[in-house]
Amino acid sequence: MSTDKKWAMVIDLQKCIGCDACTVACKAENRTPPGVTYNIVITEERGTFPNVTKVHLPRPCMQCDQPPCVQVCPVKATYKLENGITAIDYDRCIGCRYCMTSCPYGARYFDFGLDYSQEMVGYNEVQAPEYGIDRGKRENGKSPIGNVRKCTFCYHRLQRGEEPACVEVCPGDARYFGDLNDPESVVSKLAASPRVFVLKEEMGTKPRVIYLK
């Protein structure tokens, strides 16, 4: 994959219907264990009766350009890739969970080693090739168990030239994915919209997930 890409995601809150299809697609794609949910949809009611409205806010990892999680990791297991993605090296991470404490978006999850083997046949037989690394079976004592995990922007799908699973599945077409380095890309154009905002801008994290209000 060429490294001159700078991946970004735009989420249009006017189009999001709060169906949580992205959450489910993410779980299926990344085969995340119980307690690890790279993507969630936060629903909030606004206004007072009778003028009320619901806002649905999908929250993946923001892939911040100034990520506090990278700053605090004592062993550099969390680091920035050239393509803008914040990655975790599961073979280096010691599981100290400092990064979870530092992430302002609660985007990080600890893999306690739980699984869905009761609910699903063969859950432990195969893992998602996160960051393009095939780790074989999910086994006790093997990474990523005991490590911190988070949304990878479906790095392994990007390598195959596919969109992240949440983008592909979104029935409201609320998610856009693309290259911010390319001024002609849809995300670049949307990022210039007056509706643009990012979460917790005051923290200076410079998220690569951009919202349209």
With respect to ligand SF4, which residue has the nearer C-beta, 21 or 72? Answer: 72
With respect to ligand SF4, which residue has the nearer C-beta, 114 or 126? Answer: 114
Using CB under 6 A, which residues numbered 128 to 167 contact ligand SF4?
Answer: 148, 150
Burial class (CB in 10 A: 0-12, 13-18, 19+), 166: buried
The SS3 assignment for 55 reads strand
Tell me which of 78, 127, 143, 152 binds ligand SF4, using CB under 6 A.
78
What is the per-residue DSSP string for 152-203?
A: -TTHHHHHTT---HHHHH-TT--EEEEETT-TTSHHHHHTTSTTEE-TTGGG
The answer to whether the CB of 46 falls within 8 A of the CB of 54 is yes
| Residue 137 touches other proteins, criterion: CB under 8 A | no
Tell me which of 14, 43, 66, 71 binds other proteins, using CB under 8 A.
71
| Residue 110 touches other proteins, criterion: CB under 8 A | yes
How many Cα atoms within 13 Å fall on the side-chain side of residue 68? 17
With respect to other proteins, which residue has the nearer C-beta, 32 or 63? Answer: 32
The answer to whether the CB of 126 falls within 8 A of the CB of 31 is yes
Instruction: Return the structure tokens found at 146.
Output: 């005991």
| Residue 36 touches other proteins, criterion: CB under 8 A | yes
Interface residues with other proteins (CB under 8 A) are: 35-36, 71-77, 92-98, 100-101, 106, 108-114, 140, 143, 145-148
Interface residues with ligand SF4 (CB under 6 A) are: 61-64, 67-69, 72-73, 75, 77-78, 86, 88, 93-99, 103, 105, 107-108, 148, 150, 205
